[in-house]
Structures are given as C-alpha cells and as structure tokens.
Amino acid sequence: MQFLGPAISQTIQQRIGTIALVVDDYDDAIAFYTQKLAFDLVEDKDLGGGKPWVPVASSTSSGAKLRIGGARSPQQKQGVGNQAGGRVFLFLQTNDFWRDYQQMKAKGVQFNEEPREETYGLVVVFEDLYGNKWDLLQLKN
C-alpha cells in the first residue's frame, strides 16, 4: 500500500520550528543572543553525551528558535561564522526598526553598513559574534 499524503480535507500546517546554529562556545553565544539581541534563553538542558539542547528566541516571537550547537568536528568548526557562505543567514524582523537598531548599536553589535530604505522596508546588515550575517528588517505594511 502506498502512502499518498493527507486527505484533501485535512489542512496542512507547517512551520520552521528550530534552526541549528553552530558556535564555538555555548556561554559566549548565550551571552550574545540574550544580552545584545535581547533574546530569551528558552532552555539549557543536557541531552547526555556532552550534547546540550540550548534554544534561544526573540522574547516576543512565537516563531522559530535558534538551537545553539557546539562545533565538534573539523567540518563543523569550519562552518562557525559562515553558515550561509558569506550571505545573510537570518532575518530579524521588527515592528520598530530605529528602536532596535539604536539599542543593538549601543550594546556593541557590529553593523556592516548604514540602514537603508528598500522597496520592501527598512534594513541593515549586522553580524553575530561569529560573523554570521543577519538582516534587521522592518517590512512595509
């Protein structure tokens, strides 16, 4: 018998729940995301075998979480800070661009450019503590 998927009357609901982020040091990463980006530490649990479960998330988000994972292998260590091959990796959306930009700047977040207005909204590229690029973004309504 072949599985053909859900019945047509069923509504499919999917979302990205967690994104893995490879880091060199758990404590440094937790400090950066909670102190500089004002994320919440959702959980810090040992799964055994030296493998912690450490998700962080924006305090006002019901969306995706970042799961901080320590680099163990040489291949994983090469990916630290380059998760998207030099492109913007993640997009932090806000409803108040200037508030968040000023707060992040005051906390020492490294911005790669000056804020700019695009057809879709206000945007600026910043880097996390390892050099992964992010967009801080306020979409137009």
For 72-122, the pLDDT digits (tens) are: 899 999 999 999 999 999 999 999 999 999 999 999 999 999 999 999 999
The answer as to whether 38 is a domain residue is yes
The answer as to whether 8 is a domain residue is no
The answer as to whether 68 is a domain residue is yes
The answer as to whether 59 is a domain residue is yes
The answer as to whether 23 is a domain residue is yes
Joined together, the tokens standing for residue 31 give 């400090």
Does the pLDDT of residue 9 top 60, yes or no? no
- pLDDT, one tens digit per residue, over 11-33 is 888 888 999 999 999 999 999 99
Tell me the CATH number at 109. Answer: 3.10.180.10
Q: Are 115 and 94 in contact (CB under 8 A)?
A: no
- Residue 43 domain boundaries: 18-139
The answer as to whether 5 is a domain residue is no
The answer as to whether 115 is a domain residue is yes
The answer as to whether 11 is a domain residue is no
* Residues in contact with 52: Cβ distance below 8 Å, sequence separation at least 6, in sequence order: 26, 44, 45, 46, 70
What total number of domains does the chain contain? 1
* Residue 97 identity: F
